[in-house]
Structure 1
Amino acid sequence: MGNDVAYGGNDKSVFIIRKGSKIVHIGEIDVRDTTYVSGKANSLALELGVQNIKVDVIGIGAGVHDQLNNMKAGRYEVTPINVAEKAFDSEKFLNRRAEYYDGLRQRFFDHDISIPADEELEEELATIKYRFNSRGQMRIEEKDEMKKRLGRSPDKADALMLAFATQKDTAWELPYQTEERIIPGSREDLSGFAMQRKERWPWDS
């Protein structure tokens, strides 16, 4: 499970659960209370057999992480994810946010992800932009920059990214083959991204 915790304003706390490469649950709550958010994450984990909850620990997410650690009782793992940390491959990526999102991009490129129809999620994924700094490192634009264009925080996209993030030196989990594929955009779009390094992500149709 990837859990993106709301910080304020119109942000929402989002829970995205996957089985292998297939997304099986997308849920959100308009709540910023850490006790309520951690309780919801715990309830979903027990109901749907989640093995690992990955929480964005920047800001109030740290409180959700700590409370889940007290609740888990050996029934699942709780993994803190700090996307501002140094990337595992620091020559290519500015930080783990860029590294994790590039891993997610690669899944779409390889058709190794299955997501249900969700207009908000697809819109958020299509909005993501990146650039390369003077050292040649990929940098994903800040969440606030995306929020200005979307009119809301890209909470679902971040929760999806967290669902596939790891603390291993691979930065994201290896693909798990599944028959069902629901991929925004065409294969041609994906190939075009790889060839041209467009300033948009491959799921942008």
Structure 2
Amino acid sequence: MAGVAECVQLCIDYPGAVGIMARQNLPAFKRTVLVEMERYFAAGIHIDGEYKKLITQHHSTDHYIQFYNGSRVWYTGLVDDSKGLISQMGTTISFFFIDQVEECSEMHFNNLLGRLSLNLPNIKYKYILTANPMPGWVKQRFIEGKPADFVYIPSLPKDNPYLPPTYEEELRAIYPKELAEAWLDGNWDVMESGNFLFSWAEITRAVDKDTSQEGELHMGVDFAWSSGDENVAIIRQGNKMLSFDRWIYKMEDSLLSVDKVIELIERFQIPHKNVKVDAVSGGSPMYSGLVAKGYNVTPIIAGAKADDEEHYINKRAEMFYQLQARFRRDEISIVEDRDLKAQLSSIKYKPAQEKRMQLISKEEMRSHGEHSPDRADALALAFYEPVQRNPVIRWL
């Protein structure tokens, strides 16, 4: 990772340097940037014929890395890490590096920019950013704005000789056409007209996000409709997705799926009413099987009328727009899963019909060669909260 290498070099070139390395959230940083940084932990450097260990300390609790010459790098998640950047806001620094800066707000970038004031001999302040230049403040400020003191270095996956030969083919098979074209061909303009319900920035911000985890458990179950589709069960508590299970059975093995759902209900002690299952088409016999065994779960029929008929064309649109609202408010946390992120990014809306929101259906997605978004559907089911109606009794 070039950003990590540049940070290490700045620490060597300017003894006593202080820098910050960050991503949008700390779990994502630890999975990516910190893994690259750990490659330097055992490295050494020759100074005037004397061998010295490059890094003398990694303080994982306070989130800093100490170098042999007094230089120090703090690391953090910009949004949800109270022990990192927030406690260091008064610190003056000489450089900073933000990985995937498009996931962060411009306010966080400006806060760090204002800290570039550490007084060192011959210091040259620097910031390093990596990003997918999707529509947003990063593209406007650095690509369209073209600041005089900034160098933009475009790079595509094909420029990386270390990727496996099937990398591009696999990505084009998994992700929506527009997103694959942006990532692989560098055409990020396509993202401005894709009718996507969820932005990629919203999806990535939600991965492993620290959020509330209170109240009863809920589970959403999307049953397979056809060969190759997955059965998926997602469990959440409060705003946090806890886990998901997936399995592939043939349609004639529906009783096995029923037993699998019952096993999850019993293992996690989920109230029956909080289990929302896809009860249409292939899901109908599974729902009936659950009820027959005494599990009065909540059936959801995607094409049925929405609770809020004024704004949504059907139940599926209502569910996904509820889910979208959680992403927009940053009130959801999902697990790191490539297929789930890909499926969320593939959900598209249609122009409103009679001012009612509607989505591209599963059938239409299949007809265009796209995969069935089974994991995204299970997530929408898990977080769906049906409108509770309390009718007013009027005495005549």
3-state SS, counterpart of residue 60 of structure 1: helix
User: Would the aligned equivalents of 1:42 and 1:72 in 2 still touch at CA under 8 Å?
Assistant: no
Structure 2 letter corresponding to 1:36? L
Structure 2 letter corresponding to 1:160? L
Q: Who is 2:383 aligned against?
A: 164
Correspondence list, 1:124-139, <5 A: 124-139=343-358
- 1:126-160 CA-partner distances (Å, limit 9, x unpaired): 11110233411111001123335564211000011
Looking at structure 2, the residues matched to 15 and 45 of structure 1 have their Cα atoms a distance apart, in angstroms, of: 10
Say whether 1:34 aligns with 2:34. no
Give ranges in structure 1 of 5+ residues lacking alignment.
171-205
Q: Who is 1:59 aligned against?
A: 281
Q: Who is 1:14 aligned against?
A: 232
Looking at structure 1, the residues matched to 357 and 294 of structure 2 have their Cα atoms a distance apart, in angstroms, of: 36
Looking at structure 2, the residues matched to 102 and 169 of structure 1 have their Cα atoms a distance apart, in angstroms, of: 17
User: Would the aligned equivalents of 2:313 and 2:353 in 1 still touch at CA under 8 Å?
Assistant: no
Q: Who is 1:190 aligned against?
A: none
User: Would the aligned equivalents of 2:311 and 2:356 in 1 still touch at CA under 8 Å?
Assistant: yes
3-state SS, counterpart of residue 133 of structure 1: strand
Q: Which has the higher contact order (CA 8 A, sep 6+)?
A: 1
- 1:8-30 CA-partner distances (Å, limit 9, x unpaired): 12111101111122111111111
- 1:66-119 CA-partner distances (Å, limit 9, x unpaired): 21123346xxx5000011111122221111111110000000111111111011
Compute the TM-score of the two structures, normalised by the length of structure 1. Answer: 0.75
Q: Match for 1:117 among 336, 344, 360?
A: 336
Say whether 1:48 aligns with 2:268. yes
3-state SS, counterpart of residue 350 of structure 2: strand
Structure 1 letter corresponding to 2:220? G
Looking at structure 2, the residues matched to 34 and 156 of structure 1 have their Cα atoms a distance apart, in angstroms, of: 19
User: Would the aligned equivalents of 1:55 and 1:80 in 2 still touch at CA under 8 Å?
Assistant: yes
- 1:147-184 CA-partner distances (Å, limit 9, x unpaired): 355642110000111112233258xxxxxxxxxxxxxx
Q: Who is 2:123 aligned against?
A: none
3-state SS, counterpart of residue 297 of structure 2: strand
- 1:13/1:145 CA distance change after superposition, 3 Å: same
Correspondence list, 1:82-121, <5 A: 82-121=301-340
Say whether 1:2 aligns with 2:209. no
- Percent identity of the aligned residues? 35
- 1:149/1:18 CA distance change after superposition, 3 Å: farther
